[in-house]
Structure 1
Amino acid sequence: MKKQMRLDKYLAQMSIGTRSQVKQMVRKGQVCVNGTVVKKPEYKVDPDQDQVVADGVKTQYVHEEYIMLNKPSGVVSATKDPREKTVLDLIDGQKRKDLFPAGRLDKDTEGLLLLTSDGELAHRLLSPKKHVDKTYYARIQGRVTNEDVKVFLKGLDIGDEKPALPAVLQVLIEGEISEILITIQEGRFHQVKRMFKAVDKKVVYLKRISMGSLVLDETLMPGQYRNLTEEEIQRLKEEQNE
């Protein structure tokens, strides 16, 4: 059985306009389905088969959208904000209006952020029960030692009711400003910063480089983005179904 949907919903989901705007377009005769003008917003279309032209522009239905963003510092992980620039403000030509960030990065944190319309996948990626690895590169004010590695591996009290789960800490450079990789399986508020604060050190730079099987594309400069490949999408879905 073919899945059909209302014409106005189709157009609104493809970011042609708001639901009320596209209804007006349809009623004014600005929308054609398979070469025929349709003036009823409730008209049913098959998104996979029917050809829809809105105001002279051919549209192609996208069931879900998956975008990898190298989030820059100074941008908030939200769909809308009255005062701050959001990650969605960086995206030109998004296909679906229901795009949202799967998880959050602090305003001053850079790196991998998945923007998607796939709520089911995002939920599984973010579910504490799934224990999805999230790896960050960081520069730390203070000397990070093997003792810190052991402490992080045991789990750490960061001031919440429960200690943070064990984290894998790898020291890349030990010095007054240390460079490290850290892999966590949670997404608590300011978690990495609070973990280092608990051992009397301070995060001065933080960048997420991977989330599950998804690894930040090194060719993307901060603020740049690209669509996920079919292989990347498939791997994400497969590992969340395991």
Structure 2
Amino acid sequence: MKQNRYERLQKYLAHCGFGSRRECDKMIAQGLVMVNGHVITDMGIKIDPESDYVSCDGKKINKHNTKSVYIILNKPKGCLSTRNDPQKRDTIYDLLPKHYRNVSHVGRLDFNTEGLILFTNDGDLAHFLTKPRSSIQKVYEVKVKGRPTPEKIKKLSKGIPLGKNITLPIVITFMKDTQTNSWFRVELREGKNRQIRKMFEIIQNPVLKLKRISLGPLNLKNLSVGQWRLLNPKEIKSLKDLVIKEKSNIL
């Protein structure tokens, strides 16, 4: 048997749509995964997808029978980007039909951020899109308090210290303003935790509203807040083509 037929268990689970690799690690640690009738808690184990019998929470897994699913949701404000919440707050999965709740969300939007979030059971795609080195463009509409000066916006655009690192250059475009607030379009290719909020806090113009309107080739056109839809074949191809291009740039 050739070595390249073997695959790490958590990677195999992710490929079959049981969550991100981190979520699959948790399922293994909780003793929910069995291989050939034995409970597995060893994170380093590799399996042969062609011959090993794998089950998760009592359900047999067969990668070849798993249909790839791609969904976008227009996430509302006040909704958690998680599968379950101990405090029983609303989550993004409450907005999906039950038969799609086994797919995983790609990345996350914080509680008070709204907009586009992607779900898929395509483990390879999800893994690449969430890698730190991935540079898929994300576009946001941002409402901030006050009217930042051109000097402040230029400072953010060039990159500023945030934690132990300096943010990558971003594109900030003025949209409109009132006497008390301003709207900007922000394009960036990294996604540090609460990055946009933290950046505008540094220049003392806190974010009042934040909405992601696009992720790579995907956008929210004709999708109301709280609604979801399946990607069409053209969108799926565009997304996969972009990932292939990004991978070639990294190598």
Normalising by structure 1, report the TM-score. Answer: 0.72
Contact 2:139 2:187 in 1 (8 A): yes
Partner of 1:73: 77
2:243 equivalent in structure 1: 240
Residue number in structure 2 paired with 1:166? 169
Q: Deviations over 1:105-134 (max 9, x none)?
A: 011110000011112111212222221111
User: Following the alignment from structure 1 to structure 2, what is the Cα–Cα distance between the partners of residues 82 and 163?
Assistant: 35
**Corresponding position of 2:147:** 143
Residues 144 and 171, structure 1, Cα contact 8 Å, conserved in 2: no
1:128 and 1:185 in contact (8 A); partners too: no
| Residues 144, 174 of structure 1: 8 Å contact kept | no
TM-score by length of 2: 0.69
1:100 aligns with 2:98: no
Aligned amino acid, residue 74 of structure 1: G
Give the secondary-structure state (helix, strand or coil) at the position aligned to 1:112: strand
Q: Residues 92 and 157 of structure 1: is their aligned pair in 2 closer, same or farther, counting only changes over 3 Å?
A: same
**Structure 1 counterpart SS, 2:193:** coil
Q: Aligned to 2:225, what secondary structure does the other structure show?
A: coil
Cα gap change, 1:135 to 1:215, in 2 (>3 Å): same
Equivalent of residue 92 in structure 2, options 87, 90, 95: 87
C-alpha deviation, 1:89, in angstroms? 1.3
Q: Which consecutive aligned stretches of 4+ in structure 1 deviate over 3 angstroms post-superposition? A: 41-47
Gaps of at least 5 residues in structure 1 are 1-8, 20-40, 48-60
Q: How far does residue 44 in structure 1 lie from its aligned partner after superposition?
A: 11
Query: Helix, strand or coil for the counterpart of 2:133?
Result: helix
Q: Is the 8 A contact 1:68 1:228 kept in 2?
A: yes
1:149 shift after superposition: 2.8
Q: Alpha carbon RMSD of aligned pairs, Å?
A: 2.9
Q: 2:230 matched to 1:224?
A: no
Q: Which amino acid aligns with 1:211?
A: L
- State the secondary structure of the residue aligned to 2:204: coil
> Judging changes above 3 Å, is the alpha-carbon distance between structure 1 residues 141 and 43 closer, same or farther for their aligned structure 2 residues?
closer
Cα shift at 1:93: 4.0
The verdict on how the C-alpha distance between 1:96 and 1:105 changes in structure 2, with shifts beyond 3 A counting, is closer
Mapped to 1, the partners of 2:137 and 2:17 lie a distance apart of 32
> Is the Cα–Cα contact under 8 Å of residues 145 and 174 in structure 1 kept in the other structure?
no
2:99 is paired with a residue whose SS is coil
Change (3 A) 1:213 1:46: closer
Amino acid of the structure 1 residue aligned with 2:145: Q
Matches within 5 A, 1:1-242: 63-83=67-87, 84-95=89-100, 97=102, 99-158=103-162, 160-175=163-178, 176-217=180-221, 219-242=222-245
Q: Give secondary structure in 2 for the equivalent of 1:94.
A: helix
Q: 1:74 to 1:237 in 2, by over 3 A?
A: same
Secondary structure of the residue aligned to 2:129 is: helix
Q: Counting helix residues as a fraction of each chain, which structure ranks higher?
A: 2
Higher mean Cα deviation, 123-132 or 231-240?
A: 123-132
Q: Per the alignment, in what secondary structure is the counterpart of residue 166 of structure 2? A: coil
